Structure 1
Amino acid sequence: MAATAGKKRKEIAQTTRPPVVVVLGHVDHGKTTLLDYIRKTNVVARESGGITQHIGAYQVEHDGKKITFLDTPGHEAFSAIRKRGAAVADIAVLVIAANDGMKPQTREALEAIRAAKIPYLVAFTKIDLPQADVQRAKTQLAEAGVLLEGWGGDVPNLEVSGKTGTGIAELLELLLLVAEVAELKDTVDEPFWGVVIEAHRDSRQGPTATVLVKSGILKVGDVISAGTVVGKVKAMENFLKNSVTEASPAIPVVLLGFNDVPDVGDRVLTFDSEKEAVAAAEKEASRRTFEKILGGQESEATLAVIIRADVVGSLEAIVGELEKLANPYVALHIVSADTGEVSENDIDQAEATRAQIFAFRTKIRGQIALRAERTGVKIHMLAVIYDLTDIVKRALQDTVPPEIIREDLGQVRVLALFRDEGTQQIVGGRVASGIIRKGEFAEVMRDDRLLGRGRLKEVQQNKIPVDEVKQGNECGMLIEIKGSIDIVEGDMLRVFHEERRERKLF
């Protein structure tokens, strides 16, 4: 019996599993439309479930064979998630609009695919538009080093439409063919590990995570860790929102049981005991830095922000975009970044740090909003990441100190003090070098030490008001001084022109 069971397990391990496919490309190249068409026509209706609306992955069936799609965000802002998505996928589909061709986001997606070292195919979308030019897009791909089938290479490609369904069946067949060539083996008898595809904090049920099983079997009751968080699987649902007790490779499931929200891309592992799981999480936590101060470390100017997002994927994308705004002039201080609703604690933190709160696709309760209004805490409710970054850009621009351009004009040796009226003093002197002008700034120097600064309100030569006095000439000056400085005979006035210009960050 034991030999028979062992043979059976070996046979199971040698059976193929569903391929995991990620679709990448430019935000406007029809990725979402394509995935929506595949989902609507190849996924059976979902039953009512109770865990989450955020799934991040689903399965379709074509000719009796299953394909798992990672529904990763397609915007440039989600570059990090796309790269992680490609890393956990078996096959990638690079989407290129026939009317638009290669774009920077297309190249970024291509680099993510190449870095993941997975097979891929190219799908040309929007083929029904009058401006569609597939040949031009193929030429651009060739210039980028992608050699398509029929163009001297072996990268499969086809034309599809997410609106009419043209080419969708062929796309699914091609994916299954690529998977067959890749010989994706099932690994149900190997130790479990999976990857967090999506995660968020549910107001009623706490932390939830979509996990794609990569190896072994995950069961309800398993002790788990993901990055710095731990837990025990309390419940699982599949992509149809049906309750399940276990999940095998290439199956996406939503699970409850983590003690906190894990990060997207975290590896999920199982342990024999909670003690082992906690030890693994603590080891991982020691490697991570929780506070981010982006750029401007040498500047006194700081913009503090608190971020609340609907899911971890959004949160990471936002932080990724904010990292791009780092600059040498204003430090962008992320006081706190987490998923969930805006809380009383967020208002407390915002007051203490003078931070602005950015709530991305999440909520704020009435009494908390009223308190924020009373205390002057700014809260931005947003649903588009680039709206958020635009506001942060404007805030950084408003915070950045101006560029100060200084031009040294001349120096005056003080020969006499005629009148001292506190902040205004009348002195006489000789221009030792350069030129001095009415209205310019002056630094008061004594024994090469800077005592303070002021401004030349009036300049006279031979008791006649003038605009400027050149080297070698004597003059009288009315100086408006900042602070309590008494100018005395022998002091040197360094006169300079100062211009403040707005510093453009973006």
Structure 2
Amino acid sequence: MAPRSPVVVVLGHVDHGKTTLLDTIRKTNVAGRESGGITQHVGAYVVERGGKTITFLDTPGHEAFSAMRSRGAQVADVAILVVAVDDGVKPQTKEAIEAIRSSHIPFVVAMNKIDKGNADIERTKNGLTEAGVLLEGWGGDTPNVEISAKAGSGVDELLELVLLVAEVAELGADPTGMAEGAVIEAHRDSRRGPVATLLVKEGTLRRGDAIVAGSVFGRAKAIEDFAGKNAEALGPSMPAVVLGFNEVPAVGDAFSVFPDDAMAAEKAQSEAKRRAREQVIAEGSPEGEFSLIVKADVMGSLEAVMGELGKFRNSFIAIRVAAADTGDITENEVKQAAAIGAIVVGFRVKAPRAIQQLAERTGVSVVTFPVIYEMLDFLRKAIEERMPRKIIREDMGVLQLLATFRSDPPRQVIGGRITKGLARKGLRFELERNNAVVGSGELLEVQMNKIVVDEVPQGNECGTLVKFRAGGPAKEGDTLRLFTERIEQQKLG
């Protein structure tokens, strides 16, 4: 086992400077930049620092990173979490943190945009603490550094920190064996055919190797390094652009080298058959999963059902078809459904009495239909029931505060003018101050001329008793934006 260079992924909110940081690192530290630099997007590049190298993954974001991991490809060794100190911790920051945690790799926090006039490092650190990231010096052990990716300040310290974290992790690989790793970029070139960037994690990839990536195979008729230079072989932690696959492999698929073409083809065909048995119908990053086993009387019926299921594609629930076949429902299918939490649906097939009894004992739902539209209506409703509810907000009015009276937190009596819409008991509100939301709550009572009324229309002054759920108390000059919320069941398109 020999030491190997770290593979690093950069994650964070969309506008917090990931791309700028990667560009800055690439322009100032890329290994071998005298050869003309990088002329194509290959998904990774190698930088040199103090005689050591670091491989950076140039991925679109945490979604792609998570997708790679879900396919079994543990591509990165260290993550850099970029957080802009003028904006703080945002929803995508939290998603990136979760992606890093799920991968079980160490990470470094790069607090970016320290040169901005509205930079607030303390607020950012507080936000990270609330998100469960405890920084060094703030009660935790997560390394962090303040940088300006645009100006380049702090970037050298960031790279040193990454190398230190990697050294502690004691990364190693055997460069003598056959190569293994993951596909990090792939496309079809009009001139060269299928082209894939492979990240080598073990062994050494050589020109002429028989490679399997998922259900795709081929012989490496040409290998290029990240800068586009021809290479005979590339070792651990190195990205390799490979030509020679029979099809374009999927990004995130693991790859392995086999002794000969026959073994490689057999492995690829076996994987293709396995994937045909398990299909996932989804888009985006689904929040949940609906698993089912589909049976039909003949192959034409099965293809029709699968085609209709594809129309249920949505971004909330992934529809996982664990098995699809023809013939009556069997004991093995009920047992499989019980093991994975799936339902079994059949079109123009039977579920014998013994199968129904087994389903009842194991808690599996087995349903058969004589008409395809009845089956699809059933599945549509079952999927929609699992979809997250949608909160619908309706703006009702604006109350401009003119005076504040008694305050007994979380309750407060305030007075103001309705400048838009109306005020009514039970309405929700957001408290605004200097164009920022600083609190929220509910109207418990409204009055006109010291008389309790149902509602107060636009243009009138009123007094109201409010209860804060967050923030407060209100001050003169504040604005209350009044609204209602209702919850609706989302529907498939």
TM over 0.5: yes
- Whether the 8 Å CA contact 1:199–1:264 is kept in 2: the answer is yes
Unmatched segments (≥5 aa) in structure 2: 283-289, 293-304, 320-489
Deviation at 1:305, TM superposition (A): 9.4
Deviation at 1:169, TM superposition (A): 0.4
- Whether the 8 Å CA contact 1:123–1:157 is kept in 2: the answer is yes
Q: Take 1:172 and 1:77, find their aligned partners in 2: how far apart are those partners?
A: 23
Q: Take 1:129 and 1:230, find their aligned partners in 2: how far apart are those partners?
A: 50
- State the structure with more CA Rg: 1
- Out of 214, 231, 237, the position equivalent to 1:244 is 231
1:118 is aligned to 2:118: no
Q: RMSD in angstroms over aligned alpha carbons?
A: 3.6
Question: How many pairs does the alignment contain?
Answer: 307
Deviation at 1:102, TM superposition (A): 1.5
Match of 2:381 in 1: none
Deviation at 1:46, TM superposition (A): 6.6
- Whether the 8 Å CA contact 1:83–1:113 is kept in 2: the answer is no
After TM superposition, list the pairs within 5 Å mapping 1:143-182 onto structure 2.
143-182=130-169
For each residue in 1:76-123, what CA deviation from the matched residue of structure 2 results, as whole angstroms up to 9, or x when unmatched? 577524877983111111111111222221111111111111111101
Match of 1:200 in 2: 187
Give the residue type in structure 2 aligned to 1:116. S
For each residue in 1:196-217, what CA deviation from the matched residue of structure 2 results, as whole angstroms up to 9, or x when unmatched? 0100011111101000100001
Q: Take 1:327 and 1:82, find their aligned partners in 2: how far apart are those partners?
A: 17
Give the residue type in structure 1 aligned to 2:221. K
For each residue in 1:22-61, what CA deviation from the matched residue of structure 2 results, as whole angstroms up to 9, or x when unmatched? 11111111000000000001114374799x8231000001
Match of 1:324 in 2: 315
For each residue in 1:166-188, what CA deviation from the matched residue of structure 2 results, as whole angstroms up to 9, or x when unmatched? 10000011111111111112421
Match of 1:420 in 2: none
- Whether the 8 Å CA contact 1:122–1:156 is kept in 2: the answer is yes
Match of 2:78 in 1: 91
Q: Give TM-score scaled by structure 1 length.
A: 0.55
- Whether the 8 Å CA contact 1:101–1:140 is kept in 2: the answer is yes
- Out of 229, 254, 267, the position equivalent to 2:254 is 267
1:45 is aligned to 2:33: yes
Match of 1:398 in 2: none
Q: Take 2:143 and 2:221, find their aligned partners in 1: how far apart are those partners?
A: 43
- Out of 241, 261, 266, the position equivalent to 1:279 is 266
- Whether the 8 Å CA contact 1:226–1:268 is kept in 2: the answer is yes
Give the residue type in structure 1 aligned to 2:89. M
Deviation at 1:231, TM superposition (A): 0.4
Deviation at 1:303, TM superposition (A): 9.3
1:56 is aligned to 2:47: no
Deviation at 1:189, TM superposition (A): 2.3
1:212 is aligned to 2:193: no
Q: Take 1:180 and 1:72, find their aligned partners in 2: how far apart are those partners?
A: 24
- Whether the 8 Å CA contact 1:27–1:75 is kept in 2: the answer is no
Give the residue type in structure 2 aligned to 1:45. R
Deviation at 1:144, TM superposition (A): 1.9
Deviation at 1:127, TM superposition (A): 1.5
Q: Give TM-score scaled by structure 2 length.
A: 0.56
Give the residue type in structure 1 aligned to 2:116. L
Match of 2:58 in 1: 71
- CA shift in 2, pair 1:80/1:219, >3 Å: same
- CA shift in 2, pair 1:46/1:254, >3 Å: farther
- Structure 2 counterpart SS, 1:122: strand
Unmatched segments (≥5 aa) in structure 1: 1-12, 307-318, 329-502
Match of 2:375 in 1: none
More deviation, 184-193/58-67: 184-193
Deviation at 1:148, TM superposition (A): 0.7
Q: Take 2:201 and 2:65, find their aligned partners in 1: how far apart are those partners?
A: 22
- Structure 2 counterpart SS, 1:286: helix
Deviation at 1:266, TM superposition (A): 1.0
- CA shift in 2, pair 1:42/1:303, >3 Å: farther
Give the residue type in structure 1 aligned to 2:211. I
Q: Take 1:235 and 1:82, find their aligned partners in 2: how far apart are those partners?
A: 27
- CA shift in 2, pair 1:78/1:250, >3 Å: closer
Match of 1:188 in 2: 175
Q: Take 1:46 and 1:207, find their aligned partners in 2: how far apart are those partners?
A: 28
For each residue in 1:450-504, what CA deviation from the matched residue of structure 2 results, as whole angstroms up to 9, or x when unmatched? xxxxxxxxxxxxxxxxxxxxxxxxxxxxxxxxxxxxxxxxxxxxxxxxxxxxx97
